[in-house]
Amino acid sequence: MIRQMLSADPHSPPLTIQQHIIKEQQRFPDASGEFSFLLSGITLAAKQIQTQVRRAGLGNFLGDYGSENVQGESQQKLDVYANDVMIQSLASRESVGVLASEENEQAMVMPHRSQTARYAVVFDPLDGSSNIDVNVSVGTTFSIFRKPDGVDFENPEQWVLQSGVKQIAAGYVVYGSSTVMVYTVGHGVHGFTLDPNIGAFVLSHENIRMPAQGKYYSVNEAYQKSFPDAYNRFISKLQSGEVGGTDYSSRYIGSLVADFHRTLWRGGIFMYPPTKTHPQGKLRLLYEANPIAFIAEQAGGLATSGSERILDIVPTGIHQRTPLIVGSKVEMDSLRHELELGD
């Protein structure tokens, strides 16, 4: 279960994310400090993004930027801002050689071209951006890979076209009623809440465990007629109390980070199955499904595309899509059973 660290002793000094990362880094024998410096680039960017998200209605920061990204989706001003901030923060870290973003068609080689660079970061700078203008939670997702041996700056996409099991760290930031960052380096999942008084992410949830079963399912039911039958049978079972005897409620925000954050905390299941308009699923493997799947598994949950474990998928393209079903063990087992029966 989630342990509330802050309530343990209100007078103990807060443990910041920076201190926590340094502690985690000691698990790696060859740790040089560069990995914690890399992660500090992400927390710095997150603080800047959250500042603009919080003031979005005040400046001139709402609405369309007037261009489309590589997916053909219109870019919001905050998408562009968040992307610039992530790139600027990470480009100054010499340990980072390559970046890939939802907002950029190609993988980006960092101008320093440092021979000591050994990490690649993939990210969605502001996920769920259709929710920005209506003041609903949005988020940032990221995933970190080590540079594969023998790969250089001539082939930047090879730095990031790695299956999810190769992630060395992943996380997300949810800009909700508070700003929370959740991350894993493969030794459990930890959550940090931004304390606006001191401007630091402070450990608020250590060793987060996803409950084995929840009471919410999360799916865009407007598309139900175009889901494969197995998903509809499973949804019927949820609705009729046939999954662990639970009476389910539905919750769907339309921001993956927020929908997953609730699923991580409360248990249950999030689904974005194949649909007629998105037969390969809508969500992107590298910077949406992979970090969420890594965190889910580290917290005791499961994540599948419907046909295979998300973390085992070997990507062929930076913006490749996948169906994503992620959640608690009981719901995931019940869905697997329906999928095995076929359509």
Contacts to ligand AHM by CB under 6 A: 73, 102, 124, 127-129, 220, 254-256, 272, 282
Binding-residue total with Mg ion (CB under 5 A): 2
Which stretches of the chain are assigned E, i.e. beta strand? 3-4, 64-68, 74-76, 96-101, 108-109, 119-127, 138-146, 167-175, 179-184, 190-195, 200-206, 216-218, 249-250, 269-272, 283-284, 302-304, 321-322, 324-327
Q: Which is nearer to Mg ion, 24 or 127 (CB)?
A: 127
**Is 24 among the residues that bind Mg ion (CB under 5 A)?**
no
Please name which of 307, 328, 318, 335 lies closest in space to residue 237, comparing C-alpha atoms: 335
CA distances from 77 to 45, 61, 107, 294, 306 (A): 16, 6, 21, 29, 34
CB of 209 to ligand AHM, least distance (A): 23
H or E stretch at 263 = helix 256-266
Report the residue number, 21 or 173, with the smaller CB distance to Mg ion.
173
Nearest distance, CB of residue 292 and ligand AHM, angstroms:
10
- Whole-number minimum distance, CB 39 to ligand AHM, in Å? 23
Q: How far apart are CA 82 and CA 124, in angstroms?
A: 9
CB of 72 to Mg ion, least distance (A): 13
Chain residues 120-139 in contact with Mg ion, contact rule CB under 5 A: 124, 127
| Residues in contact with Mg ion, shown as a per-residue x/- string from 230 to 269 under the rule CB under 5 A | ----------------------------------------
Count the neighbouring beta carbons within 10 Å of the beta carbon of residue 47.
Answer: 19
Q: Which is nearer to Mg ion, 205 or 321 (CB)?
A: 321
Closer residue to Mg ion in complex, CB, 90/138: 138
- Residue (of 61, 76, 57) closest to 128 by Cα position: 76
**For ligand AHM, which is the closer residue by CB, 127 or 297?**
127
Query: CA 256, CA 283: separation in Å to the nearest integer?
Result: 9
Helix runs in 71-214, H state only: 77-91, 156-160
Task: Tell me how far apart the alpha carbons of residues 78 and 125 are, in angstroms, rounded to a whole number.
Answer: 9
Q: Which does 255 bind (CB under 5 to 8 A by kind): ligand AHM, Mg ion, none?
A: ligand AHM
Nearest distance from C-beta of residue 19 to Mg ion, angstroms:
30
In the complex with Mg ion, the residue whose CB is nearer, 127 or 338, is 127
Which option in Mg ion, ligand AHM, none does residue 129 bind, with CB closer than 5 to 8 A by kind? ligand AHM
Token pair for 295: 């965190």
**Region binding Mg ion by CB under 5 A among candidate stretches 4-12, 43-51, 116-124, 295-303:** 116-124
Cβ atoms 338, 233 nearer than 8 A: yes
Residues lying near Mg ion in the complex (CB under 5 A) are found at 124, 127
